């Protein structure tokens, strides 16, 4: 039987469209692809990202933080065909026709990865018509996808590139909901469509939220959850439902494979449960907004109960209290350097949090969750490092750079592609005009996939979004 109108969901996966993809897109992986069976499309909104044209570029004489904790003084790096081709010393070969940049006295780092951003779904101008980050109509909204809210013309993308050297960012929905929906990982490039910005092959994330936000938002509506125990009760019921949903699809798939199921026997698709089921199979990473140590511990137990894994706790201001627990469970903490006090669950924030997590051997990430903070993530890492040092925790700047590079890359599942200066990786690189841990330093040039997208000496490369054109200042 050929796919007919009755089995319109039978869509053959088209993986070839993903430029540079080296991993299968996130999906309910157990559902096989066959025209005779109903399948869930793995990648219905595929990335159409193509790197901008680039030159072969050699940057030499710089101090380099490789993003994995290494440092090279007076090093050189060669970018070719969008990739980091080679790294070495002053003797690194310069191909004919290459652009050579003398970076003596300057620093080179991998592009910064912000694991927590709302650029595009809470864009500037922040008018109600643009407020697309929270689907606040129900606490269990795993079915929404952040990419369907992202406005590629948000001027914040360009600022994050030019002022912050941010080359990759995860856009999250939420945190009004226990299950806020799917995240999307973007390369910080200009795009007319969100697909043109989508990081090829990056796994999706599922945003969850602990604590005050869900109970406040739904408590105000007079519905569950109104308490933290209500949060967990709804979470567990939802996970149980997702397990059930996954089992139904797996049963259907087994039967269909054996020729014992018609396409019309396929379970009804449920967008929310579909995303949660993919989290249960490990194809989608959990990014859990969770401030308090005690709540993180509860979530860790809940994850064990249902068999999923938390990739990172976000806004984890109390990670310092349970850094051992986080280390032992292999969970990253995405943290601010010094935000505190805006709500009860942020009241115990301390400046040493990031360094104490690092010091315990757990995975530390510095995130922004802010359209201004994303422009200075290097400075946030610097403050966190300094606070740690004053408390006796020796963290080197090259180690601190892992909080902005390889650690978020791993938590996002894109560490083979970006997140450090290693040959073969995407040439996402920042040249800083001084020590990037200093307040007096600015990005001088920023490359994404080897393409020079920002140059402080070249006003023509300043990104001006469609929204800003013809407006006062044009973002000058």
Contact residues for other proteins, defined by CB under 8 A: 124-127, 155-156, 159, 163, 212, 320-321, 338-344, 347-352, 356, 371-372, 375-376, 379, 382-383, 385-386, 389-392, 433, 437-442, 456-457, 459, 467-468, 471-473, 475-476
The nearer residue to other proteins, 126 or 229, going by C-beta atoms, is: 126
Both tokens assigned to 435: 């020590």
**209 phi and psi angles, rounded to 5 deg:** -135, 135
The nearer residue to other proteins, 251 or 324, going by C-beta atoms, is: 324
| Closest to 368 in 3D by CA, of 407, 348, 338, 342 | 338
Quote the least distance from Cβ 431 to other proteins, whole Å.
14
Quote the least distance from Cβ 473 to other proteins, whole Å.
3
Quote the least distance from Cβ 85 to other proteins, whole Å.
30
The nearer residue to other proteins, 353 or 420, going by C-beta atoms, is: 353
Quote the least distance from Cβ 387 to other proteins, whole Å.
8
The nearer residue to other proteins, 46 or 211, going by C-beta atoms, is: 211
The nearer residue to other proteins, 26 or 374, going by C-beta atoms, is: 374
The nearer residue to other proteins, 212 or 449, going by C-beta atoms, is: 212
Query: Which residue in the block uniquely carries the two structure tokens 């993003």?
Result: 67
Quote the least distance from Cβ 351 to other proteins, whole Å.
6
Quote the least distance from Cβ 125 to other proteins, whole Å.
5
Residue 24 contacts residue 278 (beta carbons within 8 Å): no
Q: Which residues of 297-328 are buried (b: 16+ CB within 10 A; e: fewer)?
A: bbbbebbeebebebbbbbbbbbbbbbbebbee
The nearer residue to other proteins, 298 or 337, going by C-beta atoms, is: 337
Quote the least distance from Cβ 115 to other proteins, whole Å.
21
Quote the least distance from Cβ 211 to other proteins, whole Å.
11
| Closest to 181 in 3D by CA, of 135, 150, 219 | 135
The nearer residue to other proteins, 275 or 382, going by C-beta atoms, is: 382
For residue 90, give the 3-state DSSP assignment.
coil
Quote the least distance from Cβ 348 to other proteins, whole Å.
6
Query: Which residue in the block uniquely carries the two structure tokens 């938590």?
Result: 411
For residue 377, give the 3-state DSSP assignment.
helix
Please give the Cα distance from 435 to 443 (Å, whole number). Answer: 10
The nearer residue to other proteins, 102 or 251, going by C-beta atoms, is: 102
Quote the least distance from Cβ 350 to other proteins, whole Å.
5
**302 phi and psi angles, rounded to 5 deg:** -65, -40
Taking the CA atoms of residue 343, residue 348, residue 352 and residue 357 in that order, the dihedral angle to the nearest 10 degrees is -90
The nearer residue to other proteins, 32 or 439, going by C-beta atoms, is: 439
Please give the Cα distance from 207 to 182 (Å, whole number). Answer: 6
Quote the least distance from Cβ 101 to other proteins, whole Å.
16
| Sign for the pseudo-dihedral over CA of 280, 286, 291, 294 | positive
**74 phi and psi angles, rounded to 5 deg:** 60, 35
Both tokens assigned to 12: 């053959």
CB burial class (10 A; 0-12, 13-18, 19+) of residue 449? buried
**41 phi and psi angles, rounded to 5 deg:** -60, 130
The nearer residue to other proteins, 280 or 335, going by C-beta atoms, is: 335
DSSP 193-233: SGGGTBPTTPPPEEEEE-THHHHHHHHTTT-S-SSHHHHHH
**95 phi and psi angles, rounded to 5 deg:** -65, 155
Query: Which residue in the block uniquely carries the two structure tokens 């090279």?
Result: 72
């Amino acid at each position: 039987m050929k796919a007919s109108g009755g089995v319109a969901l039978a869509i053959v996966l088209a993986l070839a469209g993903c430029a540079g993809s080296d991993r299968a897109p996130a999906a309910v992986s157990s559902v096989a692809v066959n025209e005779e069976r109903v399948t869930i499309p793995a990648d219905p909104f595929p990335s159409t990202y193509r790197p901008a044209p680039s030159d072969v570029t050699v940057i030499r004489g710089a101090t380099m933080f490789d993003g994995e904790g290494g440092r090279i003084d007076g090093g050189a790096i060669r970018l070719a065909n969008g990739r980091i081709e080679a790294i070495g010393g002053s003797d690194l070969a310069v191909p004919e026709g290459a652009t050579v940049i003398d970076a003596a006295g300057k620093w080179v780092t991998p592009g910064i990865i912000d694991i927590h951003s709302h650029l595009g779904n809470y864009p500037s101008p922040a008018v109600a018509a643009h407020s697309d980050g929270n689907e606040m109509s129900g606490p269990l909204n795993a079915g929404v996808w952040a990419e369907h809210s992202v406005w590629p013309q948000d001027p914040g993308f360009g600022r994050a590139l030019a002022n912050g050297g941010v080359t990759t960012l995860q856009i999250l929905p939420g945190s009004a909901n226990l299950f806020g929906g799917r995240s999307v990982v973007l390369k910080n490039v200009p795009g007319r469509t969100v697909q043109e910005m989508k990081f090829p092959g990056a796994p999706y994330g599922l945003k969850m939220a602990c604590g005050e936000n869900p109970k406040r938002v739904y408590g105000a509506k007079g519905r569950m959850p109104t308490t933290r125990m209500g949060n967990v009760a709804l979470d567990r019921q939802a996970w149980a439902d997702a397990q059930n949903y996954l089992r139904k699809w797996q049963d259907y798939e087994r039967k269909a494979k054996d020729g014992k199921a018609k396409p019309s026997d396929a379970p009804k698709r449920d967008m929310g449960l579909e995303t949660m089921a993919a989290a249960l199979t490990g194809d989608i990473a959990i990014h859990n907004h969770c401030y308090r140590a005690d709540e993180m511990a509860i979530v860790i137990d809940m994850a064990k109960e249902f068999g999923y894994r938390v990739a990172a706790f976000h806004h984890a201001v109390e990670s310092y209290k349970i850094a051992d627990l986080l280390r032992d469970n292999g969970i990253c903490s995405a943290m601010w350097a010094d935000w505190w006090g805006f709500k009860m669950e942020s009241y115990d924030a301390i400046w040493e949090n990031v360094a104490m997590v690092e010091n315990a051997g757990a995975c530390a990430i510095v995130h922004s969750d802010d359209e201004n903070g994303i422009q200075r993530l290097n400075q946030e890492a610097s403050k966190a490092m300094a606070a740690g040092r004053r408390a006796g925790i020796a963290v080197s700047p090259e180690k601190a750079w892992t909080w902005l590079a390889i650690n978020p890359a791993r938590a996002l599942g894109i560490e083979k592609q970006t997140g450090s200066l290693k040959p073969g990786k995407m040439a996402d690189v920042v040249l800083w005009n001084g020590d990037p841990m200093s307040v007096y330093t600015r990005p001088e040039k920023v490359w994404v996939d080897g393409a020079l997208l920002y140059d402080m000496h070249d006003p023509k490369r300043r990104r001006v979004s469609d929204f800003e054109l013809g407006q006062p200042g044009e973002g000058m």
